[in-house]
Structure formats: C-alpha cells, structure tokens
Amino acid sequence: MHGDALDAAATLPDGSFTLIYLDPPFNTGRTQERHGVAVRRAREDAEPAEDPPAPREVNHGFHGHRYERVRELLHTYDDRFDDYGDFLMPRLEEAWRLLADDGTLYLHLDYREAHYAKVMLDAVFGRDSFLNEIVWAYDYGAKPRTRWPTKHDTILVYAKNPGSHVFDVDAIEREPYMAPGLVSPEKAARGKLPTDVWWHTIVPTAGREKTGYPTQKPEGILRRIVQASSRPGDRVLDLFAGSGTTGAVASALGRDALLVDSNPEAIRIMRDRIPHADVRTAGDQGVRR
C-alpha cells in the first residue's frame, strides 16, 4: 500500500494482524548515501509553533495512562522529543488497535530513541505487556576513536495480551552453541534457542538480498521474528516497509503480509522483490489479496 502509515492504518479494521513490525525513521537527522542516491532519514517536520502556544489535547492512552504527563516530563530532559514523540505516538496507538488479541508488536529503533519509545509503549500497551528488549548486534561501519563504537539496534517487543500471545518456540531456527564442547553432542548438533541478543551481519553488499535501499534489514532478523510470533496463514503488517524484507520473509513462510510505505522508490523495490504482490494507495478501500 502506497501512502502514509496513519492513512493506511485508518482503512484497516481492529484486530487484523497477529504480528506488526515497525521500523520507523530513527530520528538521526543524517542523510544516508547508497549507490549514489541520497535518502533523508530524519524526523518529520513538526507543525509550526503558535504564539502563544495552543492548548494541547491530553492523550489518555488505552490503559488510563496520561501520556501528556509523560511527554512533559521527557520534554524537560530533551526538547528534541517533541517532533519524534508526536510522530511516533499515534502510530503506536494504531498498532495497538490493529493487533489481534494474540498479537505482538516489534518496534525496531536505535539508541537515540529507544528509551523514549519504551515509555510511549508502556503508556499505550501497559508495562505488563512488555516482553523483551532485543539487541541486534553487528560489526560494520565507522569506528570512532573517542567512544565505544555503536554497533547494535534495539527491538522492543510488546504483546497485546501477554500470556495469550503467539510464540512458537519450535519454529525458531536454532543457532550454534558458542562453546559446543560444554554440552552433549546431541545438544550441540541441535543448536540452542536464540536469546535476546542477536548476532547477525547486516545485508551483505554483494549478497542476493541486496536491493540498494539504504535502510534495508537482513532477512535473517525478520525470519526469526515471523517464525516466533506468527503462524502459517496469519496476517503480518509493516507500516514502514522500505525494501519489503518483512513481506519477502512472510510470503516465503506462508503468511499474508500488508506492506505500507510513503516512498515511491520503496514501492518500486517491493514490487520487484515480490512480483505477485498487489499495490494500492492508502486512500483505496480494502486491499486485494
């Protein structure tokens, strides 16, 4: 679906998806270059401030939390929060609405916004709905000499109804033990379940997955998410689909994916990557399967 995430979400009924994966802009303010194409990955422009400021509407959230109070508190620590918080919060609320009762949300961010986003998710889902903070660790890119190199992303995991959510532990691909000699040969051959720290390379420059999209995520990361938190035949949603990795993985695993992005280049890449996919704009009613 070509369009803004909120516009697209508004056309969808409550409880439509078992799994929602969100990989929104990280609010870096940087321009990323890939194959000669410059892509701005930054926060959306905020509405011009009024003088004097207009009263703000209080958002009570879905669990009685006063998000406006949280917002004011965070603003006192970092005045950059306004733009990104106002961008992200309504999209998290829509994700909560669109999740099925057994559904799970995965929110993929980096260190700049993960702490703010967790507070917002606590306000929308409730703190008891928090399942995991997954750390995706990799080793690629610049190595600064004045601090520890930052080589991980954060994926926050929340369940609509913890305890009733889908988590298929038997479907998850296992990984090798770091010290196989310390376990039995049978265990070493089977491998171990991943923990909340995922060591996985980025998309290789010359690999078959490469699309040229600057924020593309590797299929291995999404495969683990889709295997764990959905079943064959379930519906999966990605409101910031980018290169379409979520859809490519979900389709290969027998899930039905809805991918949304406002960037025409992302839509083109997704159509090339998933040839059988159908495309509509966010204003259309319904989505063809």
Residue boundaries of the structural domains of the chain? 5-39+82-273
Alpha-carbon distance 227 to 257, whole Å? 13
Kindly report which listed range (27-36, 79-88, 146-155, 232-241) carries the lowest average pLDDT score. Answer: 27-36
Kindly report which listed range (41-50, 157-166, 208-217) carries the lowest average pLDDT score. Answer: 41-50
Whether 6 contacts 240, CB under 8 Å: no
Instruction: Check residue 287 and give its pLDDT.
Output: 45
Which residue reads 């930054």 in tokens? 42
Kindly report which listed range (65-79, 172-186, 262-276) carries the lowest average pLDDT score. Answer: 65-79
**Token output for 251:** 């389709």
- Say whether pLDDT at 35 is over 70: no
Instruction: Check residue 113 and give its pLDDT.
Output: 85
- Dihedral of CA 33/38/39/42: which sign? positive
| Per-residue DSSP letter, 274 | S
Instruction: Check residue 249 and give its pLDDT.
Output: 96
In this prediction, residue 54 has a pLDDT band, given cuts at 50, 70 and 90, of very low
Average pLDDT, integer, range 272-282 = 86
In this prediction, residue 289 has a pLDDT band, given cuts at 50, 70 and 90, of very low
What is the crossing angle of helices 264-273 and 245-252, to 10°? Answer: 20
Average pLDDT, integer, range 217-246 = 97
Instruction: Check residue 70 and give its pLDDT.
Output: 65
In this prediction, residue 211 has a pLDDT band, given cuts at 50, 70 and 90, of confident
Per cent of the chain over pLDDT 70 is 77
Give me the sheet containing 256-259, strands edge to edge: 197-199, 130-137, 152-159, 99-109, 17-22, 235-238, 256-259
Which H or E run contains 235?
strand 235-238
Instruction: Check residue 43 and give its pLDDT.
Output: 34
- Say whether pLDDT at 115 is over 70: yes
What CATH number is given for 5-39+82-273 in this structure?
3.40.50.150
* Preceding peptide of 218 cis, ω within 30°: no
Average pLDDT, integer, range 96-100 = 98
Which H or E run contains 197?
strand 197-199
Is pTM beyond 0.75 here?
A: yes
Mean pLDDT of the chain: 83
In this prediction, residue 86 has a pLDDT band, given cuts at 50, 70 and 90, of confident
Q: How far is CA 177 from CA 189, 195, 200, 221, in A?
A: 9, 11, 15, 18
| Per-residue DSSP letter, 48 | P
Instruction: Check residue 74 and give its pLDDT.
Output: 62
Instruction: Check residue 214 and give its pLDDT.
Output: 85
Instruction: Check residue 142 and give its pLDDT.
Output: 82
- Say whether pLDDT at 34 is over 70: no
To 10 degrees, the CA torsion angle through 114, 88, 139, 141? -120
**Longest CA–CA separation in the chain, Å:** 71
- Say whether pLDDT at 59 is over 50: no
Choose between 278 and 154: higher pLDDT: 154
